[in-house]
Chains A and B, each alone.
Chain A
Amino acid sequence: EDQVTQSPEALRLQEGESSSLNCSYTVSGLRGLFWYRQDPGKGPEFLFTLYSAGEEKEKERLKATLTKKESFLHITAPKPEDSATYLCAVPFITQGGSEKLVFGKGTKLTVNP
């Protein structure tokens, strides 16, 4: 069954301590992958779209990369305001031919000052 798996579930970093979040997926013919940030009590906020393996996108301290099997969200020198849950999502075509966006469970990032 197609699925999206994110790891770790939770990550605690000290301010300035760089790290990476992982999103792996099982889908034939990946057409794209989305990264979202979600703050408590709010809806997901769009960060990046990656369309093909080898693609990279950056925004401030965040850089998203994509391979054929997984995506990484690299966080360089994080600050406390980067604390949030980071979600990845992949479009799937179901066996019935319909399409939907499938989200991972997210990685809850906490950056301590």
Chain B
Amino acid sequence: SYELTQPSSVSVSPGQTARITCSGDALPIKYAYWYQQKSGQAPVLVIYEDTNRPSGIPERFSGSSSGTMATLTISGAHVEDEADYYCYSIDSNANPRGVFGGGTKLTVL
């Protein structure tokens, strides 16, 4: 079955740039989506179709994709950005079900 691989944790100081990667064999031809889940809250979409930011998401959140890797970048991370981040995508085999990466715990302190 298709898998997306993320680092389990990333740690930065406030104001630094955080980069969270997601690797998957189908990412060269399929979009990546990124979701933020803060403790005790429902997930929120922060990046869709590799690079697009929904309305209401701060400009410090950006996405990119190259080859088999998608990257979520938080430029100048804030303490309130501390959360679990999940990438999501679909495979190239007409599977109706997509998959999440294992999630990355971002610590900002």
Partners in one complex: no
Which residues of A come within 8 Å of B, CB atoms? none
Which residues of B come within 8 Å of A, CB atoms? none
